[in-house]
Amino acid sequence: MVSVGQEKERKPRADSLRNREQLLEAAKAAFNEVGAEVALEEIARRAGVGIGTLYRHFPTRDALLAAVYRREVEQLSASAEALLAAHPPGAALEAWLHMLVDYMATKRVIAPALRTSAGEGQQVYEASGAAITDALARLTQAAVAGGDVLPQIGPQDVYRLMIGVSYGYDQPGWEASARRLIGVLMAGLKPPAKA
């Protein structure tokens, strides 16, 4: 007989995990299209679940915002290794920078709400920077080591360049401009061709 203290933690059911993922996807899309104040009922409808299911997974709007943001950061960070495994280092860095633009598009909607929340959202927001800069550092160092980026370029240099690219990220047309600038940035980071 297993006592209460010895009970194993049950794994979530497959349908529960699927519902959670659908809610996170629907919330991300709704936040990007409507804003952080979109009705939670609308998010549940888009996910194809009832409002009770949304509240079982995310008891407050702040919890949902924090979960969407945390997931975005985790996916962006984890993608660095996958991109390096699938592409030459310079191409991996460029692809990741485009993913960073996608992340910024979501962040511009969610971050203001997270910064003003008093709980989990603010903690998630404050903790996100390290994961992103670590991924950028891994990619930049691999691109330098692979000869795809000038040897004198370091992660802080690329970080500063991306700060410039992110300028005006809350303005219309920013995303298309940012993607063009990534192309310019990558062209400028390449070592000169050897004769």
The CATH number of the domain where 49 resides is what?
1.10.10.60
CB 93 within 8 A of CB 186: yes
Residues 132 and 170 in one domain: yes
Q: Say how far apart CA 148 and CA 171 lie, in whole Å.
A: 32
Question: Are 84 and 146 in the same domain?
Answer: yes
Residue segments in the chain with a per-residue pLDDT below the cut of 50: 1-2, 195
What's the domain count of the chain?
2
The answer to whether residues 74 and 46 belong to one domain is: no
Domain-located, residue 8: no
Question: Are both 53 and 97 inside the same structural domain?
Answer: no
Within-domain flag for 5:
no
- pLDDT for position 10: 65
Using CA atoms, how far apart are residues 38 and 47, in angstroms rounded to an integer?
Answer: 14
What percent helix, strand, coil does the chain show, rounded to 5? 75, 0, 25
44 in a domain, yes or no?
Answer: yes
Check residue 41 and give its pLDDT: 96
53 and 80 within one domain: no
Residues 73 and 138 in one domain: yes
The burial class, CB within 10 Å (0-12 / 13-18 / 19+), for 31 is: buried
Residues 176, 101 share a domain:
yes
Classify residue 7: in a domain, yes or no.
Answer: no
Looking at the fold, whether 131 and 179 belong to one and the same domain comes out as: yes
The pLDDT value recorded for residue 184 is 95
Residue 22 belongs to a domain: yes
Q: Does some domain include residue 41?
A: yes
Residues 6 or more apart whose Cβ sits within 8 Å of residue 30: 38, 42, 43, 46
Tokens coding 145: 């080591």
Q: What is the pLDDT of residue 123?
A: 78
Q: Which domain holds residue 160?
A: 68-190
Burial (Cβ within 10 Å: 0-12, 13-18, ≥19) of residue 159:
middle
**175 inside domain:** yes
83 and 152: one domain? yes
Q: Verify that 96 and 163 share a domain, yes or no.
A: yes
pLDDT of residue 195: 39
Q: What is the pLDDT of residue 155?
A: 95
Fill in the DSSP letter of residue 132. Answer: H
* Contact of 150 with 187, CB cutoff 8 Å: no
What's at 180, amino acid-wise? R
Same domain, 143 and 160: yes
Residues 109, 180: one domain?
yes
Asked, for residue 6, whether it belongs to a domain, the answer is no
Are 61 and 39 in contact, with CB atoms under 8 Å apart? no
